[in-house]
Amino acid sequence: MYGVSGTRYEAITWERLAGALAGHLDAAATAPGPDRDGTWLRVGLDGPPAAPGAALAGLLAEELRARGRAVQVVGTSGFLRSASLRYEHGKRDPDAYYEGWTDTGALWREVIGPLDPGGTGRVLPDLWDPVRDRATRSPYVTLPPGGVLVLHGPFLLGHWFPFDLSVHLRLSPGALARRTEESWTLPAFARYETEVDPTATADVVVRTDDPRHPAWTGLAG
């Protein structure tokens, strides 16, 4: 199976995909080197809301825990800015959705940064409830050294997050249009494709046009 760009995709189940990703992370965690021993791993599952990013994050977490690794799953939906900031230019502005809905500064500060070498390991699982439009006041979670952060959400690959493994859940433009409830967001995803090119940027690409039959590019090495 080949994509439009000539990339070869192989059929896989979600369970096998989660197992393959977990195995890769296990190998990365135990690889020799002074910069790896005892540190955390950070995984980015990038994809639009129409892609099953949260479901894959859950499967991956189960696989990693079965291998004895502590895991913290975080969704960017818990790090949206307040409604007054998100809707400053209206409730259906695709540029605002792309550039300003997610509080990337808070993600760096509360999720990514604490897992830098020498960090505290204290991760905030969520910050803002977009439905009630107020802080969640969730307690911090301490991820022990050797643990894995799984961050999922859209537009993850354009912020230089230092992922040890990045996965892009791809939908063709037609599938994305059919499965996106908020059609006004589609220009934002078109812009992301142009500016970031997530298919070329991610370590792994998973085609999810039919969520029952995913296909992936495999893992290098």
Give the pLDDT confidence score for residue 7 in this predicted structure.
Answer: 77
* Tens of pLDDT, residues 187-204: 999 999 999 999 999 999
Q: Is the Cβ–Cβ distance between 207 and 170 less than 8 Å?
A: yes
Number of H helices, E strands in the chain: 8, 11
The whole-angstrom distance between residue 105's C-alpha and the CA centroid of its chain comes to 16
User: Once rounded to an integer, what is the mean pLDDT over residues 207-211?
Assistant: 96
Give the pLDDT confidence score for residue 72 in this predicted structure.
Answer: 98
d(CA 187, CA 144) in angstroms, rounded, equals 40
Structural tokens at position 72: 């913290």
For 40, 75, 82, 221, the CA distances from 128, given in Å and listed in that order, are 25, 11, 7, 39
Give the pLDDT confidence score for residue 38 in this predicted structure.
Answer: 64
Q: Is the Cβ–Cβ distance between 59 and 98 less than 8 Å?
A: no
For residue 74, count CB atoms less than 10 angstroms from its CB and return exposed for 0-12, middle for 13-18, buried for 19 or more: buried
Reported confidence tier of residue 113, pLDDT bands at 50, 70, 90: very high
Residue of 146, 128, 145, 149 whose CA lies nearest to 137: 128
Where are the chain's structural domains?
A: 10-31+40-215
* Tens of pLDDT, residues 20-64: 999 999 998 877 655 555 689 999 999 999 999 999 999 999 999
d(CA 108, CA 96) in angstroms, rounded, equals 20
CATH of domain 10-31+40-215: 3.40.50.300
